[in-house]
Structure 1
Amino acid sequence: MIDELDVAFEEDADRSKPRRHRARKGGGRSAVALLVTFVLLAGLGGGVYFGYTKVRGLFVAADYSGAGSAPVEVQVQKNASLTEIGNELVKADVVKSTKAFTNAAEAEPRSKNIQSGTYNLRKQMSAKDAVALLLDPAARVSKGVTIPEGKTAKQTFELLAKATGLPVKDFEAAAKDPEALGVPDWWFKRNDGKQVAKGAEGFLFPDTYEFDPKADAGQVLSTMVDHFLTVTGELGFADDVQKSLKVSPYEALIVASLSQAEAGIADDLPKVSRVAYNRAYKEDMTLQFDVTTNYWLELQGKDPKHSGELLAKEMEDPKNPYNTETVKGLPLGPINSPGKAALTGAMKPADGPWLFFVAVDKSGKSAFAVTSAEHDKNVQKACAAGINLCGK
């Protein structure tokens, strides 16, 4: 009897040959398949890499290399964002893309210190080099000029001339036509029936400016007028004073300039404005503000004086259109450039019946009074504090 195991073994042995034969055929096909797979994978990998480089190219900001070539001037506006600065640099062909500039600026912690002004840069610079130059004080063409609050137009022209190199007479000539500088004609209207001083006085907003080195006197003053209109617009100045105080914007501007000159500290601005309104409109009194006499002296080329040193003939000069000593109501026009606090004080004066005020200490703080008797007591306090008023 044949052993079942032997038969099974022989059957397996017989079947083993074709299986080995098929295995050899299968091995050939596997090699081909492996080769095809490799080629496909390589192609796919190349495609992926090509696609990656293409996509990567879309996200990498275009940039120039090197320190640049031809010199070019670029102006950075006040409060400009990095994107806005980058846009200006692209326009001037300083950097290749805004994104390259903002990336370089964000990588430099000092970039938040980039100041407004005009800069000497170079065309086709790397964004990193452009950021470095914008942080270099030596690259700035203009250092800027600060016009303090309360400066008269004449004083402002002198500061501007020194900063820009333009003659004072150019500013004086440009200031004669305020509407050409951008002041709307409706600003030169009064409700009290008095004349107006048609000039730039009062409209040259005090601030720190960076002017284009190529700007002429008219363009410089127009920039300041535009700033004035922006500030008063944001305050709602014109509409507010007409509605709440029943005065024209021009009259309120005059009051703002008077309080700017008279108040020794900012906290007193709304009170001084109230005194001006009370005397000019409620009590039909003369203002008796010494600052208007000093303004007239300055217009004549004379030095201003301390209140205690002013002569009666100077304060009562009938030729002075800014006379508030003997002429009732507000003077001809503004006497300086009031700042935002003074404008706000004139727009929203403090509530009170005051008719008098006087500085009572050397910090400039004033004491306010309703009656002459109260005022006289305040004057004595001022004299005791060393304020030179007693000789007036």
Structure 2
Amino acid sequence: MNDDLGLFTDDAGETPRGGRKQERERLQRRRRRRVVTASSGVLVLLIVVGGACYGLLQLLRLGGYEDYEGGGEGQVVIEVQRGDTTSAIATTLSERDVVASAKAFVEAAEDNSEITGIQPGFYLMRAKMSGEAAVRRIVSDEARAGRVEIRGGMQLADHNLPGGKVKKGILTRLAEVTCTGGEESSGCVDGERMTEVATRAPLSELGVPDWAAEGISDVPHPRRRLEGLILPGIYHVEPTAAPVEILRSVLEESFGKMRAVGLSKLASDTGHSRYELIRIASLVQSEGITEDFDKVARVIENRLAIDMRLELDSTINYVLEDPQLYTDDEDRARKGPYNTYDRSGLPPTPISAPSTAAIKAAANPAEGDWKYFVKCHKDGTSCFSETFEQHKKAQQKADRNGV
């Protein structure tokens, strides 16, 4: 067949094996490639333009350059949010009149590598600082404000220690951060005021959820009602906030930790309420080290199952002004809701701040028939026994080890 017009040949001058159908498919593939290529180019262009717009926006936010002189005056508390960039921090400082302009801070920060190490939290600055002075201040340790570390086993109230020392409780530590800045501080909250608010403020104002409020509705003394509800961790407290606001922010964050660990499901799987599980976890935290948490939890569960008194020294010590490692006969003879030598069941509230490890152990006790335990090794680990005779031998071992 004569094909002078090239209707039946491909680009190489050969007749395509698939005829017109194959030619159409080849043209469609070419068009799709062109569309993909064009789309990719548009996407790259949008990214470039977007980046340029973001950079321009940041520059516009920084505004013009103005700068104060000197180290400033008075006190200004500012908050650095998680994810804040240097320019975001600079904007906050400018809005609070710590620096005259955001640019003054940003330019001063260019030669200071420590600026990238700023962590979220509150910082105690001064008004009308030069950009350089503000940079030096914010990266210094003295600028950090409102940081409170709560450790596992801590209690709300202060306790006396041997030698006349005092172990500060959670409420005292929260009160102390309101006095950051030494003599220049104003409106400091003391431990008594913080305790009063923790004792008397409506639970709804403190952000306590219904399940916890129901659990503490019948506590023997209101000053213990928040015990165990503030989990260990680092809390950032605004130093100038009122006591109610401080307690609310800390409690809300703590209940967030409980949700994160899955407290509701952990409790439902055990048959305990959430508040009961927190009470058990506080006993586990106070009686053992992390390696023994699940075994201590098993001893507690085994005793509860047969209505056997828990007989834990930690619950006796909880209400003593001068707690000791081991209680004596006089201490154990004192009547009260926290005397687990005298009463069966759990104490009415937690007795300390339980860690998430203690909560998990309380929800997942080790397998075993133990009903007794005693610290018997110098590393703090305990010996666990099924019978009282075995327990007496473990106590003798503890004596031999000098524990």
1:168 paired with 2:194, answer no
Aligned partner (choices 373, 389, 392) of residue 389 of structure 2: 373
The answer on whether the counterparts of 1:71 and 1:122 sit within 8 Å (CA) in structure 2 is yes
Deviation, structure 1 residue 82: 2.6
Match of residue 85 from structure 2 = 82
Deviation, structure 1 residue 97: 8.2
The answer on whether the counterparts of 2:66 and 2:103 sit within 8 Å (CA) in structure 1 is no
Match of residue 4 from structure 2 = none
Aligned partner (choices 201, 218, 228) of residue 202 of structure 1: 228
Determine the C-alpha separation between the residues in 1 that align with 2:316 and 2:343. Answer: 12
> TM-score when scaled to structure 1?
0.70
Deviation, structure 1 residue 267: 1.6
Deviation, structure 1 residue 360: 0.9
Residue ranges of structure 1 left out of the alignment (5+ in a row) = 1-53, 388-392
1:149-177 CA deviation, whole Å, 9 max, x = no partner? 21211122333344434222212211124
Determine the C-alpha separation between the residues in 1 that align with 2:302 and 2:251. Answer: 29
Determine the C-alpha separation between the residues in 1 that align with 2:218 and 2:357. Answer: 26
Deviation, structure 1 residue 77: 4.5
Q: CA, structure 1 residues 227+55, in 2 after alignment: closer, same or farther (shift >3 Å)?
A: closer
Match of residue 159 from structure 1 = 173
Secondary structure of the corresponding residue to residue 124 of structure 2: strand
Determine the C-alpha separation between the residues in 2 that align with 1:196 and 1:56. Answer: 57
Amino acid at match of 2:290: A
1:286 paired with 2:309, answer yes
Secondary structure of the corresponding residue to residue 120 of structure 1: strand
Match of residue 5 from structure 1 = none
1:25-75 CA deviation, whole Å, 9 max, x = no partner? xxxxxxxxxxxxxxxxxxxxxxxxxxxxx9997774535332467766132
> TM-score when scaled to structure 2?
0.69
Aligned partner (choices 144, 150, 154) of residue 153 of structure 2: 150
Determine the C-alpha separation between the residues in 2 that align with 1:132 and 1:110. Answer: 9
Residue ranges of structure 2 left out of the alignment (5+ in a row) = 1-52, 159-168, 179-187
Deviation, structure 1 residue 217: 2.3
Aligned partner (choices 188, 211, 220) of residue 186 of structure 1: 211
Match of residue 311 from structure 1 = 328
Deviation, structure 1 residue 104: 6.7
Deviation, structure 1 residue 322: 0.8
Deviation, structure 1 residue 383: 1.0
Match of residue 17 from structure 1 = none
The answer on whether the counterparts of 1:117 and 1:143 sit within 8 Å (CA) in structure 2 is yes
Determine the C-alpha separation between the residues in 2 that align with 1:353 and 1:55. Answer: 64
Match of residue 272 from structure 1 = 296
Amino acid at match of 1:248: S
- % of aligned pairs identical? 31
Deviation, structure 1 residue 183: 1.0
Stretch deviating more after TM superposition (102-111 or 160-169): 102-111
Deviation, structure 1 residue 91: 4.0
Which of 1 and 2 has greater Rg?
1
The answer on whether the counterparts of 2:123 and 2:138 sit within 8 Å (CA) in structure 1 is no
Aligned partner (choices 272, 279, 282) of residue 247 of structure 1: 272
Query: In the comparison of the two structures, how many residue pairs are matched?
Result: 320
Amino acid at match of 1:257: S
Amino acid at match of 1:214: T
Aligned partner (choices 373, 377, 383) of residue 399 of structure 2: 383
The answer on whether the counterparts of 1:255 and 1:346 sit within 8 Å (CA) in structure 2 is yes
Determine the C-alpha separation between the residues in 1 that align with 2:56 and 2:371. Answer: 74
The answer on whether the counterparts of 1:82 and 1:105 sit within 8 Å (CA) in structure 2 is no
